[in-house]
Amino acid sequence: MIPFETVRFSKANGVAHLVLDRPHVINAYNLAMRDEMWQALTAVRDDPDVRAVVLSGAGERGFCAGADLTEFGTAPSQAIARQVRFERGLWELWLSIPKPFVAAVHGWCLGSGVEMALLCDLRLAAEGTTFRLPEVALGMVPAAGGTQTLPRTVGVAPALEVLLTARTVDAAEALRMGLVQRVLPRERLLEEAQAVAKRLAGLPPHIVPLLKAALRNGLDLPLAAALALEERLALQALMEVAGRRRA
């Protein structure tokens, strides 16, 4: 267990568990959480024993209530010294990690909470979960990747409608639109997320990074170039298998 104030990080049997841990404010994302998420994700990236990750939120009220608006207009006492740390590309770091992430979402999932779930590869939601991206209604543009990850997940038109109206999306609709892959009773959510992550951790270690590269990079390419990318990655996978057999 790595000791943090706003995040809990642990690992067992190849699966890391990352818990947003500010339950008194529904795990609202603040600058301290940003720093600690950076450290936790760096540990995930660099630890060869970690093969899959589960992301969840502490407490019964929700996964994450979005950005902590009480910090707007304020700065830490050592703002200059910490500025570089605050400006690190956390979301870019997250997306660069080739290991599979499973989000276990419950209760309120708002703003940055939705965006963090979208940075994961698979999303499981508890019955009663409520999703909302309120930034546009507040005169802001989502800043944790939502304008890019949401349309890539549910399509451009549904994403635009959800972003512009800032309406709530319940778990059943989230399942229909592809925002989540499964909806489960609350008491089964973490157990099932851990089981999914365990299965992913048991896959050949070279396969998941190659598959993620094919999907994420290929969708931004013309079809012919994407097919060529797939062919290169498939050949790389075969070479990996052949190399392991020779060893």
Radius of gyration in angstroms for the set of CA atoms belonging to the chain, rounded to a whole number: 19
**Confidence at residue 247, expressed as pLDDT on a 0 to 100 scale:** 61
- Do residue 197 and residue 226 come from a single domain? no
**Confidence at residue 232, expressed as pLDDT on a 0 to 100 scale:** 84
* Burial bucket for residue 168 (CB in 10 Å: 0-12, 13-18, 19+): middle
> Of these residues, 36, 87, 135, 230, which one is catalytic?
135
- Do residue 221 and residue 195 come from a single domain? no
Tokens 């009773």 -> residue = 185
Tokens 């589960």 -> residue = 54
Residue 132 falls inside a structural domain: yes
- Do residue 171 and residue 132 come from a single domain? yes
**Confidence at residue 82, expressed as pLDDT on a 0 to 100 scale:** 41
Residue 1 falls inside a structural domain: no
Q: Which residues of 120-158 are buried (b: 16+ CB within 10 A; e: fewer)?
A: bbbbbbbeebbbbbbbeeeeeebebbbbebbbebbeeeb
**Confidence at residue 238, expressed as pLDDT on a 0 to 100 scale:** 79
Residue 66 falls inside a structural domain: yes
Residue 159 falls inside a structural domain: yes
Residue 170 falls inside a structural domain: yes
Task: Give pLDDT tens digits for 31-47.
Answer: 999 999 999 999 999 99
DSSP-derived letter for residue 101 is E
**Confidence at residue 85, expressed as pLDDT on a 0 to 100 scale:** 43
**Confidence at residue 242, expressed as pLDDT on a 0 to 100 scale:** 66
- Do residue 46 and residue 101 come from a single domain? yes
Active site residue 115: yes
Q: Tell me, what CATH number does 166's domain have? A: 3.90.226.10
Tokens 């998941």 -> residue = 208
Alpha carbon distance 163, 146 (integer Å): 9
Tokens 């209604």 -> residue = 137
**Confidence at residue 3, expressed as pLDDT on a 0 to 100 scale:** 74
- Do residue 52 and residue 169 come from a single domain? yes
> Of these residues, 115, 127, 173, 231, which one is catalytic?
115
Determine the structural domain holding residue 211 and report its residue range: 207-246
Task: Give pLDDT tens digits for 123-141.
Answer: 999 999 999 998 888 787 8
Residue 2 falls inside a structural domain: no
- Do residue 110 and residue 74 come from a single domain? yes
- Do residue 81 and residue 182 come from a single domain? yes
> What is the number of domains present in the chain?
2
Residue 204 to residues 52, 167, 200, 240: CA-CA distances in angstroms?
12, 41, 9, 10
- Do residue 47 and residue 77 come from a single domain? yes
Which residues, given as ranges, of the chain have pLDDT below 50?
A: 75, 77-86
Dihedral pair phi/psi, residue 170, rounded to 5°:
-85, 175
**Confidence at residue 68, expressed as pLDDT on a 0 to 100 scale:** 84
**Confidence at residue 125, expressed as pLDDT on a 0 to 100 scale:** 97
- Do residue 20 and residue 54 come from a single domain? yes
- 79 contacts 42 by C-beta, under 8 angstroms: no
